Amino acid sequence: MESIVLFYDQYHDTKAVRLLNRLQEMKIHALRCTQLTPPAEREAMVRAAGFLFVLLVDDDIFPRSFVDIVDALGQEARNRDKQLYIIKEYRAAMPPDFQGYPILEPEDGTMTAPQGGGVAGMIANLIIGTENKQVLYEKLSAMMTIDYRPGIQECLCDLCKLVCGSVREGNPALADNRERLWELLRILDSMAKYPTGYGEEQKALARKMLDSVSRVTGLLVPIESSRDPYLLAWGLRVADLYREIRADCVDTTTGGDVDLYGKPVSAEFENRCRRMGSLLLELSKKPDLHSTQDEFALIQTTLRRLRDRENWFTGASDATEPIHSQAKQPAKNHQEEPKPLTETERKLHSIAEFMSKGYSLFETMSGDETAADFLRCLKTSFERLKNYCDIVEAKAISAQCIDYIVRIDQQLARLNDVEDSQDKAGLGLKALLGLKLPQSGQYDVFLSYKHEDVDIVRNVYHFLKSKLLNVFFDKVTLPELSESDYDEAIMKALDHSRHFLVIITDLAQLDTYWIKLEMKTFHHEIVEGRKENSNFIMLVTDRVYQEIVSSNKTVLPLRYRSCEIMRISDYKAALPGYMTK
């Protein structure tokens, strides 16, 4: 698991140590931080850790020094695209400065609760949930690349359950979960775009899909009386997607004998939708809906559909008609049962199964450079098998390879980015691996950065992957290469990337070799007209942003003054709009 930083008041060392010991038992590496920790060391901890936690254990007034350090940690976390959480007992008062941070609070109000592992269990679940979601998005992206529908549907089902669970376990006020709600809506929309087929395997998948989407309907209960137009519009859109996905799943599980397209679900569900629609129409008469651009677009789209079907809510017409004016889906063409495996496919399955046993050996190895070398060798083998399967169109085996490749990448990330050696042993390992330039792919975004900011880049990478974008990030995309091969691979990636995103935490980084080369190359392609509709974006810390703005951009080289500049602390709302396909 990722490292965490636990910051606590030095006078509450006893409870902090108890929590730290519990975390250690759960194999979570926690960095201890108090008011006595030097600033430079605190900053290094924030860079090294994936999550930050502040411990509040009573209702005493905290010293100003403690509050000031929490403010500094919060600012540093925002600049490095990380989240700071508050852990509190029921007695602990929240200083005004701490408002707005997510809270972890044990059910019985104390740090010693054994249920579910107590606070340590809550921290572990948070970390595991984040890592699992990142792995699922990696797999989903790869499955979409080879267009392997069963794999796509499996990933979407698992993501739906995971995100729905995180909404339920998070702040009970849905209005505070807007980002997760948007994510859930994207997942459901993707599920609707990949309908199931026929066959025994598809029946099992349809049942799993139906179970996943049914969990989402529980979120509609608190929404039906909401006065938030966005939540109402979200609920209506989700209800419509649920109808569509449910109809498809029933069609699959019954072999086409039952068709639910355009037919109602339960009367309670329909009445809930009717109440949400009526309330949204009522709220729409107000001049200001107080929403973001994306939320406003969803509200307006839903309102147009509601007004087209307004009599549906008054009972003047057929109450079974869906909210969205959507044509009935055409009946599915019955697909043939899966064909028996060919001799080649049987051999490939055997090879994949044999290689999977090699992966299981990793659990017996220590987390050092030897383990990293072993995983790199194994990853290269799976990549080669996948490439062959792609050529012979053995998508099921290719999907198995993708699963292992993603898991190996996750394990390598946990080994703290073990550096590649250029000595004789390192060169010998390269020969063993048979490393060569990767095949050129098409990327939505190219990430440029300085190595010291790799923690920020990982978070940006995973955020963009969650938007179903194909991202070039050398730590993940490229194998270990010699310097000349690496240079060629970077140039190919720049040539095949639509957008360019550079992370800058210090203006001096603009003069470093790789950032300077990548920025200049991509900008030249834009100027020459070979990058139409491409965006060149700088993602910067608050301090760098202030330096740029206060100088009227004169601190930037002239050629880059027209590029878009965003702060790391608030890029998530604006960036996806620039990167859409």
The C-alpha atoms of residue 509 and residue 207 are separated, in whole angstroms, by 52
Has residue 416 got a pLDDT over 60?
no
Query: How does DSSP classify residue 24?
Result: H
Provide the CATH topology of domain 443-579: Rossmann fold (3.40.50)
Calculate the dihedral angle through the C-alpha atoms of 455, 459, 465, 470, rounding to the nearest 10 degrees: -40
Q: Are 505 and 541 in contact (CB under 8 A)?
A: yes
Strands 443-448 and 471-472: parallel
Average pLDDT of every residue of the chain: 81
| Confidence label for 289 from pLDDT (cuts 50, 70 and 90) | low
Provide the token pair at 241: 């997607």
Task: Please name the residue ranges forming H helices in 147-266.
Answer: 149-169, 178-193, 200-217, 229-253
Encode pLDDT of 193-211 as tens digits.
988 877 788 888 999 999 9
| Confidence label for 459 from pLDDT (cuts 50, 70 and 90) | very high
Encode pLDDT of 460-501 as tens digits.
999 999 988 999 998 888 765 666 678 888 999 999 999 999
Q: Would you tell me how many other CB atoms lie within 10 Å of the CB of residue 43?
A: 14
Q: Which residue has better confidence, 401 or 157?
A: 157
Least confident residue range of 130-144, 344-358, 551-565: 344-358
**Structural element, H or E, at residue 448:** strand 443-448
Task: Please name the residue ranges forming H helices in 467-512.
Answer: 474-477, 483-495
Encode pLDDT of 302-339 as tens digits.
888 887 765 444 333 333 333 333 333 444 444 445 55
pLDDT of residue 421: 45
Of 257, 273, 169, nearest to 217 (Cα)? Answer: 273
Q: In which residue are the tokens 């939320």 written?
A: 295
Has residue 570 got a pLDDT over 70?
yes
pLDDT of residue 545: 96
pLDDT of residue 377: 77
pLDDT over 90 percentage in the chain: 34
Q: Are 83 and 104 in contact (CB under 8 A)?
A: no
The β-bridge partners of 443 are 497
Q: Are 137 and 462 in contact (CB under 8 A)?
A: yes
pLDDT of residue 494: 94
Handedness of CA 467, 472, 474, 476 (dihedral sign): positive
**Structural element, H or E, at residue 536:** strand 536-540
- Name the pTM for this structure: 0.82
Give the up-direction half-sphere exposure of residue 470: CA atoms within 13 A in the CB hemisphere. Answer: 16
Q: In which residue are the tokens 């309102």 written?
A: 303
Of 270, 263, 305, 311, nearest to 284 (Cα)? Answer: 305
Q: Are 294 and 230 in contact (CB under 8 A)?
A: no
End-to-end CA distance of the chain, in Å?
33
- In sequence order, the 6+-apart residues with CB closer than 8 A to the CB of 576 are 467
| Confidence label for 291 from pLDDT (cuts 50, 70 and 90) | low
Handedness of CA 69, 70, 72, 76 (dihedral sign): positive
CATH class, range 4-124: alpha beta
Q: Are 73 and 42 in contact (CB under 8 A)?
A: yes
Q: In which residue are the tokens 């990448």 written?
A: 409
Q: Would you tell me how many other CB atoms lie within 10 Å of the CB of residue 172?
A: 10
Q: Following DSSP, what letter does each residue of 134-178 receive, concatenated? A: HHHHHHHHHHHHHT-HHHHHHHHHHHHHHHHHHHHHS-S-GGGGH
Q: Are 538 and 563 in contact (CB under 8 A)?
A: yes
pLDDT of residue 363: 54
Report residue 461 CA to chain centroid gap. 9
Q: In which residue are the tokens 């509709």 written?
A: 533
Provide the token pair at 306: 């509601």
Has residue 8 got a pLDDT over 60?
yes
Least confident residue range of 170-184, 239-253, 317-331: 317-331
The C-alpha atoms of residue 168 and residue 227 are separated, in whole angstroms, by 20
| Helix, strand, coil fractions of the chain, as percent rounded to 5 | 60, 10, 30
Of 543, 518, 522, nearest to 534 (Cα)? Answer: 522
The C-alpha atoms of residue 126 and residue 23 are separated, in whole angstroms, by 13
Q: Which of 131-140, 311-320, 345-354, 539-548 has the highest mean pLDDT?
A: 539-548
Calculate the dihedral angle through the C-alpha atoms of 55, 58, 64, 70, rounding to the nearest 10 degrees: 20
Has residue 46 got a pLDDT over 70?
yes
The C-alpha atoms of residue 40 and residue 29 are separated, in whole angstroms, by 20
Has residue 537 got a pLDDT over 90?
yes
Q: Are 210 and 246 in contact (CB under 8 A)?
A: yes
- In sequence order, the 6+-apart residues with CB closer than 8 A to the CB of 293 are 577
Q: In which residue are the tokens 């880049």 written?
A: 457
pLDDT over 70 percentage in the chain: 80
Has residue 3 got a pLDDT over 80?
yes
Has residue 58 got a pLDDT over 70?
yes
pLDDT of residue 188: 94
**Structural element, H or E, at residue 443:** strand 443-448
Has residue 41 got a pLDDT over 60?
yes
The C-alpha atoms of residue 258 and residue 266 are separated, in whole angstroms, by 16
